[in-house]
Structure 1
């Protein structure tokens, strides 16, 4: 089965937290990897998300280690929506 990883950048204007994070993360830009696998039909090709990972620390931030942390895409979407609230 074919698979692919796409990368996006998300922006938080305020500190944020996601479930399973030990501490809130600072505002800034973060790379997010989306792992997907192909769903093949008779005449079409689709992709199903099988995993998502956020890179910590954020882009341009310094930290003792670089890590990719698995996340639930729905939790990320909720945190981004909350970040848009005044």
Structure 2
């Protein structure tokens, strides 16, 4: 299986929640990896999209960090909600 990865930064003005993560995450900038994996054995090209968030936020100095798989659509919804509430 071959794949491709792109990187972005998600900016949150206020604390937010995502499924699979315990409690609210603080406002800040979060590194996001967008991984797309080519699905083999299909008669047409198809890609499986998987997103990973880097914890903690970029501004938090920590000895430990972790990568957590998240639902990309849920992240996009949380970002949109954050932008609407900030306006």
TM-score (normalizing by structure 2): 0.80
CA contact (8 A) 1:52 1:70 kept: yes
For the residue of structure 2 that corresponds to 1:14, the secondary structure is: coil
Matches within 5 A, 1:2-81: 2-38=2-38, 48-81=47-80
Structure 2 regions of 5+ residues with no counterpart? 40-44
- How big is each residue's C-alpha offset from its partner over 1:16-69, in whole Å with a ceiling of 9 and x where there is no partner? 110111111111100000111347xxxxxx772431100000112123520000
The RMSD of aligned alpha carbons is 2.0
Provide the aligned length of Structure 1 versus Structure 2.
Answer: 81
For the residue of structure 1 that corresponds to 2:59, the secondary structure is: coil
The runs of at least 4 consecutive aligned structure 1 residues that moved more than 4 Å come to none
More strand by share: 1
Of 30-39 and 73-82, more deviation after overlay is shown by 30-39
Structure 1 regions of 5+ residues with no counterpart? 40-45
TM-score (normalizing by structure 1): 0.81
